[in-house]
Amino acid sequence: MVTRSNLICQDSTKTQSQRNHIFDAMKHKRMLPFNEADRDEARHELDQRFLTDVLGITSADVHNAVHRLREKLCAEPSIHGGKKSRCDLEAERMKFGISESVCGAADVSKRV
């Protein structure tokens, strides 16, 4: 017999599996500081994958709204704290000898 609690349990297991898959795929990608999330490709990918794969939201309007929310968040003085400098992941990658991963983001798990 299918009960509501069985469905929730099955859904939770599926959702957890999807979250774990996303984490495993992205855990070595370098991210910019939080105040630069609006221009961080890894965070954009994470948001897109979470919305689509975990929450099942495929609407372009919702994805665009999340992007706009990210921009507004980063424009908040309490988030950026007046910081004018921008993090340069490419320069850091070269400085610390971090190799480039196949998907284009610096991979901190592999040292040159």
Q: What is the pLDDT of residues 20-42, one digit of tens each?
A: 999 999 998 989 888 889 999 99
Structurally, the chain folds into a number of domains equal to 1
Residue at 22 is within a domain: yes
What pLDDT sits at residue 106?
41
Residue at 109 is within a domain: no
Residue at 108 is within a domain: no
Residue at 98 is within a domain: no
What pLDDT sits at residue 46?
93
Query: Residue 111 — φ and ψ, nearest 5°?
Result: -95, 145
Q: Are 22 and 53 in contact (CB under 8 A)?
A: yes
Residue at 105 is within a domain: no
On average, the pLDDT of the chain sits at 79
Across 52-56, 74-78, 105-109, least confident range: 105-109
Q: Give the model's confidence band at 100: pLDDT under 50 very low, under 70 low, under 90 confident, else very high.
A: low
Q: Provide the domain limits for residue 13.
A: 4-85
